[in-house]
Amino acid sequence: MNVAVTVDAREDSPAWLAYGTPVFTVLAALAVSAIALVVLDVNPVAAYRTMFVETLVTEFGISETLTKAIPLILTGLAVYLPLKAGLFNIGAEGQLVAGALAGTWIGLNVSLPGLALVPLMFVAAAVAGGIWAGIPAYLRAKWDVNEIITSLLLTFVALEIQSYLLRGPMQGGAGNFPQSDRFSEAATIPELFGGVHAGLLAAVCMVIATYVLMTKTRLGFEITFVGSNDEAAQQAGMSKFYVYLLVFVVGGAFAAMGGISEIAGAQGRYRAGFEPGYGFTAIPIALLGRNSAFKVMLAGLFFAVLFVGGSSMEVAFGVPAALVEIIQALVILFLITAEFFKSYRVGIDLKRGPAETPAQPQRGDD
């Protein structure tokens, strides 16, 4: 008996597959992670129960998840929007930091009533994030400098500036920690419900705004077109320069809002290293949700569950933090791999007789 592995292109992906694969692949990733849990003598079922069920049913879990989701959704949008114009914003992290720093400075140094101060902090953050993102966008639009590299490198510049400010001019509070003073009552983002701050409102508004921009406006049409074929778009009278600048600046502003809402909503003060890579997690979020701003929101929520559930599992079972990260990474890897199964059919043939040459993968031509 012979075994042959075959890979065939699908002519069209069935609908059940489009919706079924994410669910199925997440389950598969968890199954693989279970091996590691068993090795560490942790009952995987109980661990996963803590990770997902508890996170999604307890009030604490939900409020933590929603809070975590705010910067994830906003940075997700910061990557998503340039992606629509065919650009990769790898520097959402830097834009988030730049925005958070600017917003924090306003929050600490301006005295206004809360209703005016918090919006002002958001505006300041958005401006700073927009400028930070505008640099790579301008370089790309004007001189075709690769935005992946510039936006990424600017992230490190932003992190160093943060490090300097928090050890120097903006350092505050007791002791010599790299952190700012606590925010006053007025500078703190008010609670929306059950421990979730009003930054959630900002995130949802931005999701809706992005959705409207992309599907209902002329600008969205131009962004889509430039993203698909910039030469044809220019021939039609659209401005690549303007579109590139716009998507990056708006994207940077989104990331910056994510930064300031995390600082002024959840943290209460600026601590160096407050953000566990939101701007980088934003990349898989935007890739998973690349079809619509609402899907970015769903992807952001999903990653928030992974983050929050992961830390609950860490606490409850004494699982090393590294393992939690492994589980998160496996989930991402499996989700990306799943794209392959949407377009290819893999089969195993069991046959008697001489071994056949297995079919080679074939893409549809022309």
- Chain contacts with another protein (rule: CB under 8 A): 1-8, 11, 215-221, 224-225, 228-229, 231-239, 355, 357-360, 362, 364-366
Cβ of residue 159: shortest distance to another protein, in angstroms?
36
Task: Give, in order, the Cα–Cα distances in Å from 23 to each of 140, 166, 305, 326, 335.
Answer: 38, 43, 14, 19, 9
Q: Which of 27, 24, 33, 38 is nearest to 322 (CA)?
A: 33
- Tell me the C-alpha distance between 214 and 283, whole Å: 19
Is residue 243 within 8 Å of 229, Cβ to Cβ?
Answer: no
Comparing CB distances to another protein, the nearer of 116 and 232 is: 232
Cβ of residue 112: shortest distance to another protein, in angstroms?
32
Comparing CB distances to another protein, the nearer of 49 and 342 is: 342
Cβ of residue 228: shortest distance to another protein, in angstroms?
4
Cβ of residue 227: shortest distance to another protein, in angstroms?
9
Strands (E) located in 47-98: none
The tokens describing 240, both together, are 């690549």
Cβ of residue 229: shortest distance to another protein, in angstroms?
4
Cβ of residue 350: shortest distance to another protein, in angstroms?
10
Comparing CB distances to another protein, the nearer of 145 and 351 is: 351
- Concatenated DSSP letters of 119-168: HHHHHHHHHHHHHHHHHHHHHHHHH---HHHHHHHHHHHHHHHHHHHHHT
Comparing CB distances to another protein, the nearer of 43 and 337 is: 337
Comparing CB distances to another protein, the nearer of 168 and 354 is: 354
- Using DSSP's 3-state secondary structure scheme, residue 89 falls into coil
Is residue 282 within 8 Å of 297, Cβ to Cβ?
Answer: no
Comparing CB distances to another protein, the nearer of 43 and 217 is: 217
Task: Give, in order, the Cα–Cα distances in Å from 107 to each of 50, 118, 169, 252, 271.
Answer: 37, 7, 15, 20, 14
Comparing CB distances to another protein, the nearer of 246 and 263 is: 246
Give the list of residues 6+ apart from residue 231 with CB closer than 8 angstroms, or none: none
Cβ of residue 347: shortest distance to another protein, in angstroms?
10
